[in-house]
């Protein structure tokens, strides 16, 4: 019997610590060559957008896909999980879960790259995904100060207060992106901007910059100069980045970045990356891969099986 888990079920079941552990395990498998992941594919039917991405996660004993549509201002996410025997295990409504797995990936990158246990974090963007970035980071390091910036002053102030209350950390409602970024150890950009939201000379020479929002080749949250300055460039998957990382694609087209410089997060997690002797700027380009959805989905599904009482369907047996 397959489970049907709706957004309210996912919100009831999901735990960030579980998602981080599952996504980290999946990325280690990808780095070791055991898990598989296919980059996102997009179709543009009249009036909308269809996205499909799929993966295999042996450690979670599952394979599956995420499909989502964009039409009339609505985005609808569905994760389909099959067992290794091909049986349907779950249909999961996956907007909330997607935000969790994206936050988890940033936390895993910070952990794997060996950043210090205490850090000042700058968060550019205050939407749905920004909150789970802060939550995930709080699981892998001590956030000494969280600085938040977005163009909407009221939303920015409210978001800073929310993070203070929920995470119990010092938060700063930054008056500008520059004020947020200068002096920060970790900078996270999580916007839908088509143009850079920070400048290269604001970024500290030891900082990690995680760019979350630029998953179209015509979008760039980061300036080319910052990509050029980065000592290490980490991508969630090289094939996916070459299709949709606007930050890196535009830098490569300008002759300021070579794809041979990129290292995959799975390789870092699996211990196949050699740390530079001198610290420098590290760039993590995060665009989201299906393996993260399977990993998060397997954690939610396991929690649902343990707790019981969720809707089941006899389908594709």
HEC states along 206-256? CCEEEECCCCCCCCCCCCHHHHHHCCEEEECCHHHHHHHCHHHHHHHHCCC
pLDDT-derived band of residue 276, with 50, 70 and 90 as boundaries? confident
- Spell out the alpha helix ranges (H) of 83-123: 95-112
Residue 117, pLDDT above cutoff 80: no
Q: What is the pTM of this model?
A: 0.96
User: Looking at the structure, do residues 257 and 300 belong to the same domain, yes or no?
Assistant: no
Look-up: residue for tokens 């300055």?
Answer: 229
Q: Looking at the predicted structure, is the pLDDT value of residue 133 above 90? A: yes
Is the Cβ–Cβ distance between 131 and 162 less than 8 Å? Answer: yes
186: tokens are 């970790």
Whether residue 297 sits in one domain with residue 282: no
- Domain of 76 in residue numbering reads as 2-98+291-313
For residue 15, what pLDDT is reported?
98
Do 181 and 206 share a domain, yes or no? yes
Rg (CA), the chain: 19
Mean pLDDT over each residue of the chain, to the nearest integer: 95
Phi, psi torsion values for 64, nearest 5 degrees: 165, -165
Say what the pLDDT of residue 277 is: 80
Residue of 149, 142, 225 lying closest to 190 (CA atoms): 149
pLDDT tens digits for range 183-233: 999 999 999 899 999 999 999 999 999 999 878 888 999 999 999 999 999
**For residue 48, what is the domain's CATH number?**
3.30.1780.10
Integer CA distances (angstroms), 28 to 200, 262, 271, in order: 31, 17, 8
pLDDT of residue 274: 87
What tens digit of pLDDT does each residue of 76-86 get?
Answer: 999 999 999 99
Nearest-angstrom CA–CA distance, 162 and 184: 20
What is the number of structural domains in the chain? 2
Q: Let me know if residue 205 belongs to a domain.
A: yes
Tell me what pLDDT residue 103 has.
98
* Residues 166 and 261 both lie in one domain: yes
Closest CA to 124 of 190, 58, 219: 190
Same domain, 283 and 301: no
């Amino acid at each position: 019997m397959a489970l049907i888990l709706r957004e309210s079920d996912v919100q009831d079941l999901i735990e960030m610590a579980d998602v981080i552990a599952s996504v980290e395990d999946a990325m280690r498998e990808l780095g070791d060559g055991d898990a598989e992941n296919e980059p996102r594919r997009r179709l543009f039917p009249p009036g909308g957008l269809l996205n499909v991405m799929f993966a295999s996660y042996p450690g979670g004993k599952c394979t599956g896909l995420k499909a989502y549509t964009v039409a009339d201002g609505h985005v609808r996410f569905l994760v389909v999980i099959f067992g290794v025997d091909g049986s349907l295990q779950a249909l999961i409504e996956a907007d909330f879960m997607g935000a969790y797995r994206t936050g988890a990936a940033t936390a895993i990158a910070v952990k794997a790259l060996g950043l210090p246990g205490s850090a000042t974090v700058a968060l550019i963007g205050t939407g749905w995904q920004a909150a789970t970035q802060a939550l995930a980071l709080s699981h892998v390091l001590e956030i000494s100060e969280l600085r938040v910036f977005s163009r909407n002053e009221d939303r920015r102030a409210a978001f800073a207060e929310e993070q203070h209350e929920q995470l119990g950390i010092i938060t700063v409602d930054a008056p500008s992106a520059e004020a947020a970024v200068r002096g920060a150890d970790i900078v996270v950009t999580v916007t839908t901007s088509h143009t850079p939201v920070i400048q290269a000379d604001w970024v500290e020479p030891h900082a990690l910059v995680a760019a979350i929002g630029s998953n179209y080749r015509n979008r760039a949250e980061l300036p080319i100069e910052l990509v050029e300055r980065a000592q290490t460039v980490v991508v969630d998957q090289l094939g996916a980045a070459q299709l949709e990382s606007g930050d890196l694609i535009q830098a490569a087209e300008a002759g300021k970045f070579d794809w041979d410089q990129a290292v995959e997060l799975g390789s870092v997690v699996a211990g196949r990356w050699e740390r530079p002797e001198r610290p420098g700027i590290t760039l993590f380009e995060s665009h989201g891969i299906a393996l993260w959805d399977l990993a998060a989905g397997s954690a939610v599904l396991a929690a649902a099986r343990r707790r019981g009482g969720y809707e089941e369907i006899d389908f594709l047996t």
